[in-house]
Structure 1
């Protein structure tokens, strides 16, 4: 068979080199992130992701049972690619991390997060997975910068807990999800860090540090 209906050798994933494991998963997640960036969650579909990734729907469904699960995984993977800053100053690092979070919330990724949070109330298991994945990503980043600050004497050891470490990004997320703010001004980011986060984590007077 020939003609326009027949996929070309270049487009046919069956002719492409076989990929497995993490290599294949990363290709799918990249394709999902690109689709989300182009069409948003409303136009997001497994068929389009499979075509872009050069694989098939069965392979994707084997790893992610729904388009929502794949979207969440793509969101989390994109968030994990951000480097954790290490400038030697807690305030500078915290501002950089929070500004990065604000940028993501103002992007298509943020739109996706808002839609998922709304749509998944009817899927409690998946909603719980979303919260756990995003929480784990955020905790790791904030515990890293806080741990480094403690080693430098810029924060108190007692502050090294997930609830305290992530208070800044929790407040930022509240602005976005609860108040419906789409673009968070830098003045709000600075206020969160300077008036809430730093006073909470820095050594108390008499403990040394700043």
Structure 2
């Protein structure tokens, strides 16, 4: 069986690297993803090119295309690698409204950060690629649903919510509306009063309707 490898550092420039520097399998993939992350951080998604990633990774562009069929596919994989490995602490103030606001503020900070900008640019670019859209949405849903279900479960234990409210649809409505503020209104960050409106006018009434 042939094991795929690149030419090692210098391959993209046509140099003849030493055989010992050749990378294979996971090591090669990690080098490419790391290069893509660095390119996203330095030049942003709109300016990122496969040539730039190949040069930074010290490999050939066709090696990258054998793993990721497009720039968007590579950047979706790189973005997933940029996400925190460990889950953040879930707010536990003893009050559903306060917990929900804390969660939205955290999401707002993330969406207005450089990583949030990359996320928005990626989502805008991949709309014509159903597979990438599905992959990205599954990642977003997994990351958002668990913490919100946790704060709802705690609220139910305190009598602030009923068991019928513990559904992914109810749990993620607030963060979905937050994301829409960025996607539709193009804001740089969402003001505090809008976060409060999302919680007070939509999220809490929806939870109470399921109580």
TM-score by length of 2: 0.70
1:72 corresponds to which residue?
76
1:167 corresponds to which residue?
173
1:151 and 1:196 map into 2 onto residues whose CA distance is 21
Gaps of 5+ in 1: none
1:155 and 1:198 map into 2 onto residues whose CA distance is 9
3-state secondary structure, aligned to 2:77:
helix
Matched-pair contact (CA < 8 Å) for 2:148–2:171: yes
- Which of 84, 91, 116 aligns to 2:97? It is 91
Could you say if the C-alpha distance between residues 72 and 164 of structure 1 is closer, same or farther in structure 2, counting changes exceeding 3 Å? same
Measure how far apart 1:100 and its partner are. Answer: 2.0
Measure how far apart 1:31 and its partner are. Answer: 4.7
1:13 and 1:152 map into 2 onto residues whose CA distance is 64
Matched-pair contact (CA < 8 Å) for 1:93–1:145: yes
Matched residues, number: 198
1:179 corresponds to which residue?
185
Matched-pair contact (CA < 8 Å) for 2:144–2:172: yes
User: Is 1:101 equivalent to 2:107 in the alignment?
Assistant: yes
Larger deviation: 34-43 or 143-152? Answer: 143-152
Gaps of 5+ in 2: 1-9
Could you say if the C-alpha distance between residues 151 and 49 of structure 1 is closer, same or farther in structure 2, counting changes exceeding 3 Å? farther
Measure how far apart 1:96 and its partner are. Answer: 2.5
Could you say if the C-alpha distance between residues 156 and 203 of structure 1 is closer, same or farther in structure 2, counting changes exceeding 3 Å? farther
